[in-house]
Amino acid sequence: MKFPGLSLASTTALATVLTLGGLTAAPLAAQDAAPAAEEPAEDGGIIVTGLRRSETLQDTPAAVTAFDAQAISNAGIERPADFIALTPNVTLVETQNAGNAFVVIRGITQNRNSEPSVAVIVDGVQQVNPAQFNQDLFDIDQIEVLKGPQGGLYGRNAIGGAIIITTKQPTDEFAGNITAGIDNGFGYFLRGGVSGPLAENVKFRVAGSYYDTEGFIPNTFLGEDADPVEDFSLRGNLLIEATDQLTIDLRGSVNQLRTQGLYYNIVGDVNTIAPVRVNNPGQNDRDIYNVALKLEYAGDNAVLTSISSYDTVTEILTGDAFDFLPIEDSFFFNLFEGIFGAGNGFDLTQSQYLNVKAFSQEVRLASPEDGRAFNWMVGGYLIDTERFISTGNTIDTGNGALPVFRSPSTNPLNPQFSFLSDGQENFAWALFANAGYELSPEFRVDASLRYDRDRRRQTTLTPQGFLPVVPGVPQAQSGEVRTVTFDDWQPKLTLTWEPSPDLTIYGGYSRGFRSGGFNQTGVGAEAVNNGIVGVGDIFQAETADTFEIGAKAAFGPVRLGAAAYTTLSQNGYFFVFLAQSSTQNLGNIPETRLNGFELEATAEILPDFDINAAIGVTDSEIQAFPDASVIGNNAPQISSYTINLGAQYAGPVSDNVDALLRIDYRRLGRTFWEPFNTTSRDPVDVVDARAGLTFGGVSVTAFAANLFDETYNAEFSPGGFVFRARPARYGVEVGYKF
């Protein structure tokens, strides 16, 4: 390696088929993929814990898509994009660099340098930085996606929902698994885990993955691929059952990623596909480390849980700058030649450095899970974060795009052209309480309340000479300190009626909250200078108030689910890139209305043969904005609908051989990318497929992602920036369990 679609009529027909035929939806993978021995006695689907209690998927009064270990294996889920593609009304935008992967859930969006739109919980520990999310998934036991605000349960950043990931746990006996494969990158990968006892009441588990590929997207100027990847992950877990009541769970993990980014094109329309022609391949190096300690004491009348976590994220990103063309073809080269004369033109490169350290602590006291009619939980949470970020442009002298860390470059091979840097100290805390009561065997009420308070302090570290000067706007000062506090209450109320074991009806109200923050110091002045509204040095906190009603039903082998919601988002995000400083900034949309629904179903129509279908629709309307011409437009980054169709056979073909044949289809509806709605991406259709055999503990599986090589842009940013989506990836893998 080197590093430096379906018509409206078709959609209507699908809805009819869902109603009349009882086809199946993406959650099929969760509800029906597990072996019969793992199904609960009442045949209500797998057990989920997303509502902080264990219950079947059928009985859970929330819109949940869940995948157990067998479903994860059958679907070939290796990255967050894989399970998100199987979840209606949820999308993932992968762009720019590894740390920028944005979850959009029921119209609640995410963007660069923002807090996430969804709380991500891995083995009970909440990820503290969105740059952590887009990692390889390996040795995973279960994934749950909860849609709608979950602030009362998960608080911080659960404004759009929550993603609960549970890794495989240490085992009483020695066991393990290993998978190796190749793809058309040309790439190869290896992943697996081992587990077993170390001493009496002491167990361990170690799992890891490695992936190396030359890439899939050609850079026609350099004659090599723009997206090579080398990714290494390792995770360890020590579980000590100190007494019958006290459990100690110690975990540590590391992820080291070496890849490239910033291979943009500048076009006028998001549907335009142009070849990548950057002359600087650049680098995208990201290192993530985590250590966490979970203590649980189970008393007779209450369970006390303490979770402590320390995280670090470091990422350096370099590459070409606007307009991402070879030097002599670039905008700036021709501009400066026009100003300074022939032979005096030059192009720019860019660099961004991010360093985040965070300590978090949660303490909960809850009632035991013993089937009692009344259950409760109270607790507190705090997180202390130190964050440094620098961005800037250097002059492209043809010697590569060199990294710039905490200070402006003094290297004559890359003289600094622009530079901004800031340090942030964020301290947030929360108190929360939840309670649920079964009024009768058919009726239940659940209520929760959480208060979050987030104090953010930013110090301008940019040398004074690099801070922008705009006539009529007060200039920022190096060393300047600004402090702002965001806080809000997050209530949630859910009523559940279960007239029979095969029918659950629920509805309620919830509020989600996401803290605001700082853009880099000085960008507000630059935005004014460029006539951009809604962007300042501070972006405001967002709230989302949601009313939802839903139902789940089972008719023999068929399971159906439906939910409808309306959300009022206040101060949602939109993205603005400022070329003068190469900064990525957030603005606020004061008010957006989001209305939508989901229809899902699953069924086993023959032994071991399942089919699935789902549709999710989100209608967005901007109702307030500083520029009145934007009011009534679609909100940015939201696909108007998602459609899922699929079929799977997973069962025996002889006494000693099992077979897997699976196909999944997803359609993403029209997507607008910025408040002014200047361009929208046409619907995108993607098909994935897997086929394999298992015999004697060995599995051989062929796979294809984006089987028909659908070519499209994953993102459009204001200014005409488009970022290519990954084309077809296919290969074969061999697995062994012992």
**Lowest-confidence range among 170-184, 355-369, 464-478, 561-575?**
464-478
Tokens for 468, please give them.
């922008």
Q: How far, in whole angstroms, is CA 301 from its chain's centroid? A: 37
Query: Helices marked H in 199-323 — which ranges?
Result: none
Average pLDDT over residues 592-611: 96
Taking Cα atoms as reference points, which of 46, 49, 44, 48 lies closest to residue 34?
Answer: 46
| Secondary structure (DSSP) of 581-632 | TTEEEEEEESEEEEEEEEEEEEEEEETTEEEEEEEEEEEEEEEE-SSGGGTT
How far is it, in rounded angstroms, from Cα 515 to Cα 133? 18
Tokens for 161, please give them.
């929902």
| Secondary structure (DSSP) of 471-515 | TTSPPP-TT-EEEEEEEEEEEEEEEEEEEETTEEEEEEEEEEEE-
The answer, yes or no, to whether residue 30 has pLDDT greater than 70, is no
Q: How far is CA 121 from CA 156, 163, 165, in A?
A: 11, 6, 6
Taking Cα atoms as reference points, which of 546, 550, 572 lies closest to residue 561?
Answer: 550
Average pLDDT over residues 643-658: 96
Residue-level pLDDT at 451: 95
The answer, yes or no, to whether residue 502 has pLDDT greater than 80, is yes
Taking Cα atoms as reference points, which of 522, 633, 538 lies closest to residue 578?
Answer: 522
- Check: CB of residue 164 under 8 Å from CB of residue 123: no
Q: How far, in whole angstroms, is CA 423 from its chain's centroid? A: 25
pTM value is: 0.90
Q: How far is CA 549 from CA 63, 207, 546, 562, in A?
A: 10, 40, 10, 8
Taking Cα atoms as reference points, which of 288, 264, 293, 290 lies closest to residue 278?
Answer: 264
Taking Cα atoms as reference points, which of 92, 267, 87, 159 lies closest to residue 666?
Answer: 87
Over its C-alpha atoms, the chain yields an Rg (Å, rounded) of: 26
Average pLDDT, the chain: 89
Strand partners, 516: none
Please give the torsion angle defined by the CA atoms of residues 107, 108, 112 and 116, in that order, rounded to the nearest 10 degrees: -140
The answer, yes or no, to whether residue 589 has pLDDT greater than 80, is yes
3-class DSSP assignment, residue 506 = strand
The answer, yes or no, to whether residue 2 has pLDDT greater than 50, is no
The answer, yes or no, to whether residue 188 has pLDDT greater than 70, is yes
Assign domain 8-737 to a CATH class. mainly beta
To the nearest 5 percent, what fractions of the chain are helix, strand and coil? Answer: 10, 55, 35
Assign residue 213 a region: left if phi > 0, alpha if psi is -120 to 50, beta otherwise?
beta
Side-chain-side CA neighbours of 535 within 13 Å: the count stands at 25
Average pLDDT over residues 278-289: 95
Residue-level pLDDT at 574: 86
The answer, yes or no, to whether residue 22 has pLDDT greater than 60, is no
Average pLDDT over residues 460-487: 87
**Lowest-confidence range among 146-150, 518-522, 535-539, 603-607?**
518-522
Band (512; pLDDT cuts 50, 70, 90): very high
Band (48; pLDDT cuts 50, 70, 90): confident
Place of tokens 């809604």: 534
Residue-level pLDDT at 45: 64
Tokens for 165, please give them.
């990931």
| pLDDT-above-90 percentage for the chain | 74
> How confident is the model over 350-371, as pLDDT tens digits?
999 999 999 999 999 999 988 7
**Lowest-confidence range among 4-8, 346-350, 453-457?**
4-8
> How confident is the model over 50-95, as pLDDT tens digits?
787 888 888 889 999 999 999 999 999 999 999 999 999 999 998 8
How far is it, in rounded angstroms, from Cα 162 to Cα 167? 16
Taking Cα atoms as reference points, which of 684, 553, 558 lies closest to residue 611?
Answer: 558
Residue-level pLDDT at 40: 38
How far is it, in rounded angstroms, from Cα 213 to Cα 730? 12
Taking Cα atoms as reference points, which of 163, 22, 172, 193 lies closest to residue 83?
Answer: 163
Taking Cα atoms as reference points, which of 96, 71, 100 lies closest to residue 86?
Answer: 71
Residue-level pLDDT at 538: 84
Residue-level pLDDT at 3: 39
3-class DSSP assignment, residue 738 = coil
Tokens for 91, please give them.
């999308």
Band (341; pLDDT cuts 50, 70, 90): confident
Taking Cα atoms as reference points, which of 404, 387, 307 lies closest to residue 352?
Answer: 404
> How confident is the model over 674-720, as pLDDT tens digits?
999 999 999 999 999 999 999 988 999 999 999 999 999 999 988 88
Residue-level pLDDT at 581: 63
Q: What is the DSSP letter of 74?
A: H
Residue that wins the pLDDT comparison between 3 and 301: 301
Residue-level pLDDT at 327: 94
Place of tokens 């503990």: 697
Domain ranges of the chain: 8-737
3-class DSSP assignment, residue 99 = coil
**Residues in CB range of 341: below 8 A, 6 or more apart:** none
> How confident is the model over 100-122, as pLDDT tens digits?
888 999 999 988 877 888 999 99
> How confident is the model over 141-153, as pLDDT tens digits?
999 999 999 887 8
The answer, yes or no, to whether residue 16 has pLDDT greater than 80, is no
Average pLDDT over residues 229-249: 97
